[in-house]
Amino acid sequence: MTDPSPPADRAGNEPGASSPAMPSLSSLYQQLILEHYRNPRNRGELPEADADVRMNNPSCGDAVRLQLRFEGDRIVATRFSGEGCSISQASTSMMTQVVQGKSVAEVQQLIERVKAMMRGDEAAARDRALGDLRALAGVHRFPVRVRCALLGWNALEEALRQARG
Amino acid sequence: MEMLTRTAAVLDLERVRADFPALAQEVNGRPLAYLDSAATAQRPRAVLDAVTQFSIQDNANVHRGLHELSRRATERYEAARARVARFLGAADPAEVVFVRGTTEAVNLVAWSWGGAALREGDEVVLTVAEHHSNIVPWQMLAQRTGVRLRYLDVDDEGRLRLDELDAALAGGRVKLVSLAHVSNVLGTIHPVREVCERAHRAGARVFVDGAQGAAHLSVDVSALGCDFYAFSGHKLGGPMGIGALWARRELLEAMPPWQGGGEMIDEVLPERSTYAAVPHRFEAGTPNVAGAVGLAAALDYLESLGRDMVEAHEAALVRHGLERLAAVPGLKLYGPPGPEGRIAVFTFTLDGIHPHDLATILDAEGIAIRAGHHCAQLLMRRLGVGSTARASCFVYTAPEELDRLVVGLETARRIFSA
């Protein structure tokens, strides 16, 4: 299978450097991802959280702490902290924005959409409900980085279980 | 670079590289620059051929068949044991136990020697720079027996704090010091001989994790003065799944078996059994004979290159790597900043760019490095980082590959400053 032609290479590769075996780095390092990495949203700690989850990626040492506060069925506040690569940090930062005000059922749908996008589902990647998260669509072409993108989402799933607890 | 051309005896790097088929490939459209040898080294054709030839001609179980193939397999297996003994400077091949790798050797010693020789309140001294494989088996022993673990610190240049060793030994409860010959993260060569002298004066034994050391240094267990030395075949060009534990004979003789099964028995009765002599007492089940043959071939190969030339090449790589990396803006190198007392393992962080991102960007250029905690989470905590990038060399590494690494780091900086 040939790769669909990658977007214009502004990732700093020299001309002729792009390879048929690996998609262009620019499909991974989108401006929006780098922007969230540098200026993460909702980073910090949440007093009186209803769910508080710590999750590690033992194979690489990434760690995230995710805290949620609910009013009734809806998420009204989210904070995260931890250490990780641009993909895990940006994905978690975007996640905290998009879940704001959503019900548990809506968030669960969202989780499924993001997972589908990480499997390469193009319809999911076009879903406007994902907001900034669509910038992560290129991650599925870098299989070793998919678990980075999903770290925060796995923590979110665990947090929903805890809140229902 | 300059040192390479000025040294009288120079390794013929082009020829050496031609011996390693895996190096002659493109990755993501670029020639592979394999800078992850501390994780596992590529293998020379001599090793691949030895394993294949054994499988084609001599494959049989050892120590039990009375037929020709079994005789040959047994002969080659025991010849490999003698080869390992010679590599380690050990006089007696019976002091060499074949294991899956360094990890299994630590587990063997912790279970068998640790279980028999240590009591509640005894202390085992480790360092914060140890690989998880030289930490977790001792924690499991501590949980079973009440043995206490103590950790020696390293200084800000990654050198072992011998003053902390003295302080630990002065307590009089230390029965074992277990440390790496060479740190897999910092590249520091630990003063093992000095550690052994001090530990022995205090009545403690010393276990040396040679996973990195055996791949880069001449090892002589009698000169080091240690009691146990273990290494893995795959770090020095041998196959995965084979390694060796060397221990003083009197220690091995006193150690109970740790796994039961065929091969390790003398006589089996309904209620109990008697055990084979060392080293076979510690090798239950069918051993990895092809692996042992491949390991012996790797040791032969390294010897054929000439130890002096290999060491001169390594020293040149150390100088070249330190010099080039020091010139990268925002790069922080961990471990000894100068060329003395270290091997060509370079662990670093780059300001504002996570090591995983570095690894992905370098991979796109065909450059393989490791990013993460390198199975040394205690050391990462000590260094105050969650994760680092590591470029590591072996005998086939070219200085130009380190140059490509530096160019790749510049690419990463461009992407992240966009």
Mean pLDDT of A87-115: 96
The beta-carbon neighbor of B357 closest among A12, A20, A85 is A85
Query: What single letter denotes the amino acid at residue B21?
Result: P
Instruction: State how far the Cα of A44 lies from the Cα of B77, in Å rounded to an integer.
Output: 59
Q: Which pLDDT score, from 0 to 100, does residue B66 have? A: 87
Neighbour-count burial for B359-382, b at 16+ CB within 10 Å, e otherwise:
bbbbbbbbbbbbbbbbbbbbbbeb
Mutate which of A3, A9, A14, A19 to disrupt the B interface (most B C-beta within 10 Å)? A19
Residue A6 confidence (pLDDT) above 80: no
The beta-carbon neighbor of B386 closest among A11, A63, A142 is A63
Query: A17, B373: Cβ pair inside 8 Å?
Result: no
pTM: 0.92
Q: Which pLDDT score, from 0 to 100, does residue A26 have? A: 87
Query: In this structure, are residues A107 and A153 in contact, taking their beta carbons and an 8 Å threshold?
Result: no
DSSP assignments along B333-398, one per residue: EES-SSSTTB-SEEEEEETTB-HHHHHHHHHTTTEE-EEE-TT-HHHHHHHT-S-EEEEE--TT--
Residue B227: DSSP 8-state: S
Q: Which pLDDT score, from 0 to 100, does residue A12 have? A: 41
Domains within chain B, CATH numbers bracketed: 2-43+307-417 (3.90.1150.10), 48-303 (3.40.640.10)
Chain B nearest C-alpha distance from A116 (Å): 22
Q: Which pLDDT score, from 0 to 100, does residue B186 have? A: 97
Domains within chain A, CATH numbers bracketed: 25-164 (3.90.1010.10)
Q: Which pLDDT score, from 0 to 100, does residue A59 have? A: 72
pLDDT by residue (tens digit) across A12-62? 444 444 444 567 898 899 999 999 999 999 999 999 999 999 998 877 778
Instruction: State how far the Cα of A151 lies from the Cα of A161, in Å rounded to an integer.
Output: 16
Query: B29, A144: Cβ pair inside 8 Å?
Result: no
Q: Which residues is B55 bridged to in the sheet? A: none
Contacts of A84 in chain B (CB under 8 A): 354, 356, 386
Count other Cβ atoms within 10 Å, centred on residue A74. Answer: 15
Question: Which token pair is A117?
Answer: 């996008």
Higher pLDDT pick, A17 / A80 = A80
The segments of chain B whose pLDDT lies below 50 read: 1-7
Instruction: State how far the Cα of B150 lies from the Cα of A136, in Å rounded to an integer.
Output: 45
Q: Which residues is B243 bridged to in the sheet? A: B99, B232
Query: What single letter denotes the amino acid at residue A58?
Result: P
**Which chain A residue shows the shortest CA-CA distance from B364?**
A22
Chain B nearest C-alpha distance from A99 (Å): 26
Query: A60, B372: Cβ pair inside 8 Å?
Result: yes
* A 86-125 → B contacts, CB under 8 A: 86-87, 89
**Which chain B residue shows the shortest CA-CA distance from A36?**
B416
**Residues of B assigned a catalytic role:** 375
Q: Which pLDDT score, from 0 to 100, does residue B10 have? A: 86
Residues of B near A (CB-CB distance < 8 A)? 27-30, 352-357, 360-361, 363-365, 371-373, 377, 380, 386-387, 411, 414-416, 418
Q: Which pLDDT score, from 0 to 100, does residue A8 have? A: 39
Question: Which token pair is B402?
Answer: 């380190």
Mutate which of B32, B354, B378 to disrupt the A interface (most A C-beta within 10 Å)? B354
Chain A nearest C-alpha distance from B364 (Å): 7
